[in-house]
Structure 1
Amino acid sequence: MSLVIIPCHSVWKAAINDENPLNLGQLPEHWVLAPFQLEGRDHFAMIKHGLQGVKTLVDTIGQDTSADANNMLFFSGSKTKPQLNISEGESYYKLIQKILKFDEQVKPLSKIFDDPELVDLVHTIKNSVSDQVLDSFLSTNVTYEECSLDSFDNLYYSLLKYHEMFSVYPKKIVVVGFEFKRKRFVYLHGRKALGIDIEYIGIDPKPIGLSPEQSKTYFDDLKFQESKNALVPFEKDWYAVRKPLLDKKQSRNPFGVVPSYPELISLHHPQVLEDREFFESVVLSKYKNFEN
């Protein structure tokens, strides 16, 4: 029983009205991207996260022959863009399906994506299973979670959705995301806030046309921003229930999405109750079966 989680970071616009068969998310304008997501061509990394997630789960299912395997892939992300009434998770889900079902007799993927790693991932997946098996897999074992407003939610709500579907928690959890966010997911969200171990597959952005010095500056800044905007705040606020993390979450919820998972508990607690005490007295008690 494995769960692969893809934290989403944007919305593929054509998920609402897909009129162009050659729109596979290869151009920045196919997405709603923030300025900081442009230099590194983050949309290519996002697509690779989804494809790597599919590959990981295909490999897992090939090794897990138990009748009640319950192996799943969730694209996790809420309706964060006010101009588009669709969740990040659903848009990723639709895009990855479109890419994997794309007929290369129309146009080779290598002519659409100038990213050999991305194209290789598609071919590896399609060469590992028949089209019929892949179609069945994409409809049965892949879905989306659309309440998450930050990285903690990506992990927490995905676990709750899995339990909602199968009445148990997954035995194995794999997150596929940006490499520079590894510590945030593995240590702060997984071990510290939820008391679980997760596997993490990291794929970072790949800016092009930069000198070695410029490339170093780019990745140094990624690490700095990750520390400033995520690691330090989450060290002080494990569950994002206080400012500034709470304000950031609320700003990402223009449609007022409210999660309703049966196993959901309120993570808001008095500031006098330290996060560690809250974890030990409330979280561990409620979710003692997170790791079966």
Structure 2
Amino acid sequence: MLPYPATQSSSTHPKRSLGNYLTTSSSSTTSLSLSVGGGSLLEKRKVSELLRQRSRVTNLALVLILGLLGVSLVANFRGWMDGEETTGGGASSIGDLLPPKVIADTVDISEEMKTLSHLIVVAGHGIWTGHDASLREKDDQWLLEPYQRGGQTVDAIFKHIQSGSDLVLSDPAALLVFSGGQTRPLADQTEAQSYHHLATASSLLPPSFPRATTEDFALDSFQNLLFSIARFHEITSSYPSRITVVGFGVKEARFKELHRAALRFPEARFEYVGIDLAGDLTSFYEGERKNGYHPFTLDLYGCHPPLVSKRRRRNPFARWHPYLSSAPELKELLEFCPAHAGGGEGGLSGLGVVYEGRLPWDGR
């Protein structure tokens, strides 16, 4: 029982228990006692009076607080259970599966975009800096690595852009995503933006074509795939049921055997369109095996050196991707990084460590 305030006199309000308060009567109140619904009117008045007594916390307030606490506990428990059921043990609550309202309110997804199901990815490998599409075959119109110069690389890149454009125009259920970040220190745009600009300038795509967009944060081939899936969600509010990637043929094994497997995307609904340079490519395939494919076998998610070191070098403007909030179903996958597990070069054994959490395409 809560005490009476210290300002009240014990002679005016003697301390007594609730039981004494209900059973004690005097000659001055006996005449008011009436039987109502099985209890006396006096008793009911006394209970009401007691609950309204001034105290540090009134008895009525205590009852209300305990009631609200009970309701809150039940609501929180139900919300936690709903979140577990929705995420399969991934996100901690249903709120984790919703993008921030302050951002979501600025996005208007059309009904046409919501019907799309096929993701077409064109992975970036350079940045076109020109304005005249007729000069696109000249190396000085591009920001390239030294080994990419000589004319053949930019010719193959343009064929990638052309192939992706042809694919999206032939499939009304497809969204074309040019993927690649602001990877060069001298760049004022991303790889993806330059590809999209060139596609439009070359009339490969109609002006303001709604089913072509850019993904502007990827720093390597794994992120080209993962981030493009997240970008698809931003545009359509769903995840693709089919994926086609367009890139160099030399990277096909890397995408199909490693990146797709790391994301556990169904092999039957994944396609790769490889377009290579002309001529003898023996040295290119050897270089890919050593510097591309093999490092990812040891580190599927690219989160340890040397792969994460390459990402840092390719991010001179310190850009941060938005997909933790815009694609919350992928949050744990986006942050997944297996610890060093022994074996292989550098103490890694990433090939056997695959993300096991729930993914949007599971069971499709």
Report the TM-score when normalising by structure 2: 0.60
Give the residue type in structure 1 aligned to 2:124.
Answer: C
Deviation of the 1:184 alpha carbon: 0.5
- Identify if the C-alpha distance between structure 1 residues 180 and 291 changes in structure 2 by more than 3 Å, giving closer, same or farther: farther
Write the distance in 2 (CA, Å) between the matches of 1:92 and 1:232. 28
Q: Please identify the structure whose Cα radius of gyration is greater.
A: 2
Greater RCO, 1 or 2 (C-alpha within 8 Å, sep 6+): 1
Write the distance in 1 (CA, Å) between the matches of 2:244 and 2:216. 18
- State how 1:18-97 maps to structure 2 within 5 Å: 18=131, 21=132, 23-39=134-150, 41-61=152-172, 69=173, 71-97=174-200
Between Structure 1 and Structure 2, how many residues are aligned? 232
Q: Which runs of 5+ in 2 are unaligned?
A: 1-116, 343-348
Partner residue of 2:356?
281
Q: Secondary structure at the match of 1:6?
A: strand
Deviation of the 1:272 alpha carbon: 3.7
Q: Secondary structure at the match of 1:159?
A: helix
Give the share of equivalent positions with the same residue, in percent. Answer: 31
Write the distance in 2 (CA, Å) between the matches of 1:40 and 1:23. 14
Partner residue of 1:189?
259
Give the residue type in structure 2 aligned to 1:204.
Answer: D
- Identify if the C-alpha distance between structure 1 residues 235 and 40 changes in structure 2 by more than 3 Å, giving closer, same or farther: farther
Report the TM-score when normalising by structure 1: 0.74
2:179–2:228 CA contact under 8 A, matched in 1: yes
Partner residue of 1:135?
206
Give the residue type in structure 1 aligned to 2:252.
Answer: R
Write the distance in 1 (CA, Å) between the matches of 2:171 and 2:234. 22
1:176–1:202 CA contact under 8 A, matched in 2: yes
- Identify if the C-alpha distance between structure 1 residues 233 and 31 changes in structure 2 by more than 3 Å, giving closer, same or farther: same
Partner residue of 1:169?
239
2:256–2:272 CA contact under 8 A, matched in 1: yes
1:169–1:290 CA contact under 8 A, matched in 2: no
1:24–1:99 CA contact under 8 A, matched in 2: no
Aligned-residue Cα RMSD (Å) equals 2.0
Q: Please state if 1:156 is matched with 2:222.
A: no
Partner residue of 2:120?
4
- Displaced runs of 4 or more, over 4 A: none
Which digits, 9 at most, give the CA deviation of each residue in 1:209-233, with x for residues without a partner?
Answer: xxxxxx43xx110011000111110
